[in-house]
Structures are given as C-alpha cells and as structure tokens.
Amino acid sequence: MSVGNKLEMDRYMVRGGNPLKGEVVIGGAKNAALAILAAALMSDETVTIENLPDVRDTNVMLDAMSEIGVVIERVSRHKVKINGANVRNVNIEYELIKKIRASYYLIGALLGKYKEAEVPLPGGCNIGSRPIDQHLKGFRAIGAEANVERGQISAHADRLVGAHIYMDVVTVGATINVMMAACMAEGKTTIENAAKEPHVVDVANFLNSMGADIKGAGTDIIRIHGVEKLHGTTYSIIPDQIEAGTFMFAAAVTNGDITVKNVIPKHLESISAKLIEMGCTVEEFDDTVRVKGTDHLKPTNIKTLPYPGFPTDMQPQAGVALALSEGTSLVTESIFENRFKYVDEIVRMGADVKVEGNTAIITGVKGYTGARVSSPDLRAGAALVMAALAADGVSIIDDIHFIERGYEDFEVKIRKLGGIIEKCGGDIDVQKFTLKTSVV
Ligand code: EPZ
C-alpha cells in the first residue's frame, strides 16, 4: 500500500553479524521471464509458463498485457497461462508500463505478430541512459518504420522481410527484441554480434517450442527463418543466474556457508571463478553450488563484460564483498555508465572506496558498521542488504521496492539462512526491531 507516493513497508531493518548458513532455492530468471511473457502473446493458442518468478516486474508486465486484451490465467504463484488470440489494440498505456524497462519487449512481440506496435519509451534507469537505437536499427532492417515520437516507440510494417543485422554493441534487449520480431518475418534473418546471455538462449528455446526456427542463440551469430504462425506450448523458465550469484556472494560477505539450489552451474562460472580468487570455497553439483566464505577475503580485480564475462548485474554485490578484503581491488564497469551509486551508501557503513570514471578503487576494511542507507537500484539494493548482514549493529535500508522488482521473498530467504532482517514501515518499527534484536 502507499501513502501519497511514498510506499509504506518500503524498508528493511537488518541486524548484522550472523554468517548466512543453510540452503536457498533459486527462482526463475526475471530477465528471461519478461521477454518470454511478451513473446507468449505471439501465438493465438494458449501458452503455459512455469517457474515464473513472482516479482514486481513480471507482475507489471502481465498487467500491461491484460490491458491490451491478452487473457492471463494465474494458475499458481509460479505458473501462468497466456492466450494472445484476442489482443484488441497494440497501444500500451504509459501509466502501466512506465515502471519497467523491459516493456520494450512488447514491441518485438506485437510487431512480429501484428506488424505494428506502440509502446511508451521506458523511463531512464538509475544505472545509465539505456538507449534503444539498436532495437530500432533491427526493426528497420526487417522492413519496419520504427521511431520514437511523443514519448512512444512506434513501429509498423506492411511486410517484415528477413535481413542481415550487425549489432553495433552487444545488447541483450535488442538481440532478444529483434529475434522476436524476426521469427515471424518472411525469410532469413541473421543477427551478428548478438548477446549470448543465458536468458537470450532461454527466449530462443521458448520461441522454438512455439514453432519458431532459431539457431545459434548463445553464440554471437543467431540465424532465424521466419514462420507464419506460432503455436501454443508449455515452457519452464531457467533459474535466475543473478539471484543465484547474489546469494553466492552473500556467503563471501557474511563468511557463511550457503548451498544454492536449482541453478545451472555453467551459467555461474565467472561468478564462481571470482569467489575462488577471493579465497572462498565453491563446490559444484548437478543443479547446486555450495559457497563457503573465509576469514581472510583476498582482493582481486573485476571488469564487467557481456556473457560469459563477469555480469554487470553482479558488480555491486562483488564490490560490497571486495570492500571487506585484505587489500586493494579495482572494479571496472564497462556496460553501464552509472552503476556505482551504491558506493556512497557503503562508504557511510565504513567502506573505503573511490570512484574514478568507470572504475572503483576499493581498499578493504575490517568490517561495516550499521547505518541508514537507501537502495539506488535493484542490484545495488541487494548488495546493500548483504553489507548490512555483515555490519556491526542495526541498518535500515530504504526504497526496497527496487529490490522487490527482481528478488522474490528476499527477506524470507535471508531469514531462513539465519539473517536477522524484517520488512518495516515507520520509525516506531525501527525502535521495536532494535530493542527486539539487541544482543542479550
Ligand atoms: C538487460 O538490460 C537486463 N535487463 C539488465 O538487467 C542487464 O544489466 C543488461 O541486460 C546487461 O546484461 C533486462 O533484461 C530486463 P543491454 P538491457 O541492451 O537489455 C547499450 C537487472 O538488474 N545499448 O544489454 O537494457 C546500453 O546502453 C537489469 O536485472 C545501446 O547502446 O541491456 C548498455 O551500455 C539491470 N543501444 C549496453 O548496450 C541499444 O539499443 C548493454 O545494454 C541497447 C543497448
């Protein structure tokens, strides 16, 4: 609920000091789910999606789809049936969809199926400018008129005809969006310099399960032969690589021992490699990884890169861990231009970090002290929770709605691992929590 435009219950209270120990089960990948939900409307038959993460962004996407006539049946928290046969218009309302960037996936889906789409331009994000020029380039290449006008992205085509597209930058969103539109174009489309993230592969596999003909997803050249229709399917979304990585790094930050279940270890290789460099122990099993922290975290250098490099969505979590290492580390953010906003917050908790351009120079300290901080964005917010769990004393983390965009039951999962964390509202709650959790 909200009072004015300030959400109540929009903060966590955390008492630090408990190493996180035990098991956590990872949910479906948010960034695969958002594209797959949009793509599901491309069929006139019923599509069943399983292992759907129940997070704010996916729920907003479903609301927007039902607004244009897509029939949504929420079978359970993690399973939904979608039928796009009766889409009545292709113009998505701003109010609904301005909250999530991934609204742009509705363009690729609607353009591919109806040859037209009108979707509000996603708002700027806290991590950078988020251009869409490569999306427009791809749509135009297959024959669409695609422009930004009146705050809307509008695209329409008499025919969509396959083309050879070279992405100027490696972009997950544009790769997926163009792949969606092209899978119902006439003829062959080649996307070169394509993104290779696991969720790009998941979307391609999903579209192929509906009868699309996409080859090469996961490599930098994706080949698509357009089809006239897409049929219904039942599909289960891959586990969330970034939720898994977040809990893996939580073991490092709190010197804990966490068994992360329902993962694909191959998707976590760059994350595991860095944790091992930092002195943690990482054991891999079929669908599980176990991470044990260490009393002596080692410094290391990290540069975020497109997959299979170290993910930009793991950069804040790694920075929070390196701030506790015994030495100096360099973290370079090569994907987004404004992804160090968490640094000011952890400095207030005692970290010693200087940001120069797109590099953070991190000098390890003995520990964090509890403080009141604010989540600048989704992944930075999760990283601040990790810092608070390691801090001496009580921390308050405001604006946790950012975290709830991409993490399901975040505080519940942390409590099950022994973390002392509660969602709360006003200042009275803070006093009660501090008293209740004060060490006897
Ligand atoms: C997706 O964003 C994810 N979001 C992001 O996760 C993730 O950080 C990002 O991919 C990179 O992995 C969703 O999937 C909903 P990009 P996206 O297009 O698609 C530039 C999270 O925390 N670019 O791969 O918007 C862009 O500026 C979120 O879950 C262009 O120049 O990212 C950036 O520098 C945060 N022109 C780089 O490419 C374009 O047309 C990568 O962006 C598009 C992108």
The structural domains of the chain, with segments of one domain joined by +, span 3-27+239-438, 30-236
Task: Specify the residue with its C-alpha closest to ligand 1, atom 13.
Answer: 31
Rounded to the nearest whole angstrom, what is the distance from the C-alpha of residue 58 to the centroid of ligand 1?
17
CB 259 within 8 A of CB 24: yes
Confidence class of residue 8 from pLDDT cuts 50, 70 and 90? low
Instruction: Answer yes or no: is pLDDT of 5 > 50.
Output: no
Task: Specify the residue with its C-alpha closest to ligand 1, atom 7.
Answer: 313
One fold for 3-27+239-438 and 30-236: yes
Average pLDDT estimate for 300-311: 98
| pLDDT tens digits along 392-401 | 999 999 999 9
Instruction: Answer yes or no: is pLDDT of 123 > 70.
Output: no
Positive or negative, the CA dihedral 89, 116, 84, 152 is: negative
Q: Which amino acid is at 337?
A: E
Residue 4 confidence (pLDDT): 40
CATH number of 3-27+239-438: 3.65.10.10, 1.10.10.10, 3.10.450.50, 3.40.50.1100?
3.65.10.10
Instruction: Answer yes or no: is pLDDT of 1 > 70.
Output: no
Among 130, 167, 304, say which to mutate for ligand 1: greatest number of ligand atoms within 8 Å of CB.
130
Q: Which of 125, 183, 280, 424 is catalytic?
A: 125
| pLDDT tens digits along 361-418 | 999 999 999 999 999 999 999 999 999 999 999 999 999 999 999 999 999 999 999 9
Positive or negative, the CA dihedral 416, 419, 424, 430 is: positive
Residue 126 confidence (pLDDT): 79
Indicate if 125 belongs to the active site.
yes
Average pLDDT estimate for 72-96: 90
Paired strand residues for 50: 79, 236
Residue 97 has a CB neighbour count (10 Å cut-off) of 24
Q: Is the CB of 99 under 6 A from ligand 1?
A: no
Tokens of 356: 């120069």
| pLDDT tens digits along 164-212 | 999 999 999 999 999 999 999 999 999 999 999 999 999 999 999 999 9
| pLDDT tens digits along 130-177 | 899 999 999 999 999 999 988 889 999 999 999 999 999 999 999 999
CATH code 3.65.10.10 for 30-236 = yes
Higher pLDDT, 149 or 123: 149
Residue 99 confidence (pLDDT): 75
Confidence class of residue 102 from pLDDT cuts 50, 70 and 90? confident
Rounded to the nearest whole angstrom, what is the distance from the C-alpha of residue 401 to the centroid of ligand 1?
20
On average, the pLDDT of the chain sits at 94
| pLDDT tens digits along 315-353 | 999 999 999 999 999 999 999 999 999 999 999 999 999
Alpha carbon distance 274, 304 (integer Å) = 12
Confidence class of residue 3 from pLDDT cuts 50, 70 and 90? very low
Residue 125 confidence (pLDDT): 61
Give residue for tokens 């085509």.
Answer: 157
% of the chain exceeding 90 in pLDDT: 86
Q: 5-19, 213-227, 302-316, 381-395: lowest mean pLDDT where?
A: 5-19
Rounded to the nearest whole angstrom, what is the distance from the C-alpha of residue 336 to the centroid of ligand 1?
8
Q: Is 99 left (phi over 0), alpha (psi -120 to 50) or beta?
A: alpha
Atom of ligand 1 nearest to the CA of 169: 38
Sheet architecture: strand order including 213-215: 164-166, 188-192, 221-225, 213-215
Q: Which phi and psi (to 5°) does residue 354 adopt?
A: -120, 135
Average pLDDT estimate for 83-104: 83
Confidence class of residue 7 from pLDDT cuts 50, 70 and 90? low
Average pLDDT estimate for 34-41: 98
Residue 2 confidence (pLDDT): 41
CB 321 within 8 A of CB 350: no
Confidence class of residue 283 from pLDDT cuts 50, 70 and 90? very high
Rounded to the nearest whole angstrom, what is the distance from the C-alpha of residue 382 to the centroid of ligand 1?
18
Average pLDDT estimate for 42-66: 96
Residue 428 confidence (pLDDT): 76
